[in-house]
């Protein structure tokens, strides 16, 4: 029983990183219906530049981390403005291909600049320090990831529900033409969503880096985040978070009791089952277009 509870707690901690990645992808999809497969590599570049500032230039982490978030936001702004907005009459498949191309470019740049060898992020908390909660142990890094993830999710929900920009984002997602007629600058809203998703992804990357840091470190979290978003519903922010924690817990239990080698397969098996039963995901409504 104790082992089972330990796996549940560890799965929830891992699910926090998946939840942040899924949240970042849903924010873009809700506004523009674009699945951003470059989400992980946007975070990857921000994380490696953070590593360079900490390791090579000895800049304190309390300065470097906020600068990393600012860079991640500016990177999101730039990619939307310079690449996505310049696409001529793109369809959904074309936009997906563009984001995959951006993913390859960013990953290639990081591999070229920093090499393929694993690095050690000089993070203020060690991933090996643990906190005891009775007979269950949780690493301080996992605990911090969980707390920061919940705080960031709450801030995003409040922002989308009560701020004027949040309402403008919802209006753009529901009907971009009507939003423009009402005076909303939809291009700026799209740029804002890419900047927000860049910041959220960067936060996830900074908490993943102390345990594993190499050019492919964000590939698995990005896929798990996408899996959680699809499972919960690509237009549902709570659904993506709920899906992320389900995937984190289930794959942890599968790895502990069945096979660690096939642990990563579980997330996508869950997706297949859920989409066969509920095509729009667990928390999103299923719409049928009539033509």
pTM for the whole structure: 0.91
Look at 248 and 272; give whichever has higher pLDDT. 248
291 vs 287: CA distance, rounded Å: 13
pLDDT surpassing 80 at residue 2: no
Assigned token pair, 38: 């470059």
Residue 286 is assigned to a structural domain of this protein: no
Mean pLDDT score of the chain: 86
Residue 287 is assigned to a structural domain of this protein: no
Residue 131 is assigned to a structural domain of this protein: yes
Residue 196 is assigned to a structural domain of this protein: yes
204 vs 194: CA distance, rounded Å: 15
60-69, 226-235, 236-245, 253-262: which range is least confident on average?
Answer: 253-262
DSSP class of 180: H
Q: Specify the DSSP element, H or E, that contains 139.
A: strand 136-139
**Number of domains comprising the chain:** 1
Average pLDDT over residues 51-63: 91
Residue 289 is assigned to a structural domain of this protein: no
Residue 134 is assigned to a structural domain of this protein: yes
Write the CB contacts of 109 (distance below 8 Å, at least 6 apart in sequence): 45
Residue 57 is assigned to a structural domain of this protein: yes
Q: Which of 55, 202, 73, 204 is nearest to 141 (CA)?
A: 204
Q: What is the residue range of 88's domain? A: 2-277
92 band by pLDDT with thresholds 50, 70 and 90: confident
Quote the pLDDT of residue 286: 54
Average pLDDT over residues 27-38: 87
Residue 282 is assigned to a structural domain of this protein: no
164 vs 267: CA distance, rounded Å: 36
48 band by pLDDT with thresholds 50, 70 and 90: very high
Q: CATH no. for residue 271?
A: 1.10.3470
32-36, 40-44, 59-63, 217-221: which range is least confident on average?
Answer: 32-36
Residue % of the chain over a pLDDT of 90: 34
């Amino acid at each position: 029983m104790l082992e089972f509870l330990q796996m549940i707690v560890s799965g929830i901690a891992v699910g926090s990183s998946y939840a942040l990645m899924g949240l970042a992808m849903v924010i873009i999809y809700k506004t523009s219906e674009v699945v951003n497969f470059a989400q992980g590599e946007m975070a990857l570049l921000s994380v490696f530049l953070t590593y360079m500032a900490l390791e090579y230039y000895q800049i304190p982490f309390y300065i470097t981390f906020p600068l990393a978030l600012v860079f991640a936001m500016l990177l999101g702004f730039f990619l939307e403005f310079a690449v996505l907005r310049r696409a001529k009459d793109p369809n959904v498949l074309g936009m997906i291909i563009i984001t995959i191309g951006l993913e390859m470019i960013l990953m290639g740049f990081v591999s070229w600049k920093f090499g393929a060898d694993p690095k050690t992020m000089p993070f203020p908390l060690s991933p090996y320090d643990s906190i005891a909660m009775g007979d269950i142990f949780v690493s301080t890094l996992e605990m911090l990831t969980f707390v920061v993830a919940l705080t960031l999710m709450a801030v995003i929900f409040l922002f989308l529900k009560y701020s004027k920009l949040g309402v403008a984002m919802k209006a753009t997602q529901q009907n971009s033409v009507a939003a423009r007629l009402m005076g909303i600058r939809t291009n700026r809203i799209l740029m804002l969503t890419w900047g927000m998703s860049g910041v959220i992804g960067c936060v996830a990357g900074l908490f993943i880096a102390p345990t594993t840091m190499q050019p492919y470190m964000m590939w698995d979290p990005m896929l798990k985040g996408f899996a959680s978003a699809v499972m919960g519903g690509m237009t549902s922010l709570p659904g993506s978070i709920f899906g992320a924690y389900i995937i984190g817990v289930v794959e942890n239990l599968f790895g502990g009791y069945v096979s660690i080698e096939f642990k990563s397969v579980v997330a996508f098996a869950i997706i297949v089952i859920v989409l066969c039963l509920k095509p729009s995901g667990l928390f999103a409504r299923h719409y049928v277009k009539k033509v």
